[in-house]
Amino acid sequence: MPQWLEAGFWGLLAGSALLIGAVAGYFARVPRRVIASVMAFGAGVLLSAVSFELIADAHERGGLTPTVIGAVGGALAYTGANVLLARRGAQHRKRSGEEQPSEQEQPGSGTAIAVGALLDGVPESVVIGASLLAGGPVSLVTVIAVFLSNVPEGLSSAAGMRRAGRTRRYVFLLWAAIALVSGVAALAGYALLGGAPPEVLAAITALAAGAILAMITDTMVPEAFEDAHLLVGLITVLGFLVAFALSHT
């Protein structure tokens, strides 16, 4: 399989977890405490991937300066976009309760939630594609970490969308589209960054890491703490250690 096609495949596979989680969240009526616990585990998994895969890889490729510049730039870009989307009704896009506004309560919030979901998923997918640029196999740890974290994201968001009165068609078309975009973003990460200097690759990897870290603290951790605050620390550490173990096997 050509590597550009392989990049798209792995991005699509990781993104498909969003749709799997959305189906579970929409139909299963999962208790909010369970959703919060799964979200905490996913946050721990992503924190480990950011630390031991993305930031470490960026530092190894290009050194400290491109890594720091990229990570800060990613966090600033994500935060700025997130602030704009929050003003349009996407602030609680990952919440499983009744925090999400309906379209009647805030017109345009559905579109803002969709754009916010893309904002959350694209950096992860770009990194998956970029991990193939060294000529070796894809970073399976990154793929597994993104997949494991995407399940609770889709689950929690779909549960909140159902409570906000959004239709089944809207929910599943949204997450199916984002899964497809994840594949395209991974392909783009491979195609557009091929031949780039190590410092540029380091900055791009760190940029994605900074955006993911900002996303974890802005959206995943609040949802986890809301309903599982007595256990969220322990569950997050367990997720962190699972991803850490995967990266050292």
Q: What is the mean pLDDT of residues 177-181?
A: 91
The b/e string for 97-111 (b: 16+ C-beta within 10 A; e otherwise) is bebbbbeeebeebbe
Cα–Cα distance for residue pair 64/135, rounded to 1 Å = 23
- 152-187 in b/e form (b: 16+ CB < 10 A) is bbbbbbbbbbbebebeeeebeebbebbbbbbbbbbb
Q: For the whole model, what pTM was predicted?
A: 0.84
How high is the pLDDT of residue 140?
81
Tens digit of each residue's pLDDT (9 = 90 or more) over 5-36: 888 999 999 999 989 988 988 888 878 788 78
Give residue 210's pLDDT.
Answer: 94
Give the position of tokens 């909140």: 160
According to the model, what pLDDT value does residue 65 have?
A: 94
The pLDDT value given to residue 63:
93
Q: Is residue 117 pLDDT above 80, yes or no?
A: no
pLDDT at 73 (0 to 100): 96
HSE at residue 135, side-chain half, CA atoms within 13 A, is 1
Mean pLDDT over 155-172 rounds to 85
Q: What is the mean pLDDT of the chain?
A: 84
The pLDDT > 70 percentage for the chain reads 93
pLDDT digits (tens, 9 = 90+) for 53-100: 889 989 998 999 999 999 999 999 999 988 888 888 777 666 666 677
Q: How confident is the model at residue 192 (pLDDT cuts 50, 70, 90)?
A: confident
pLDDT bucket at 136, cuts 50 / 70 / 90: low
The whole-angstrom separation of Cα 115 and Cα 113 is: 5
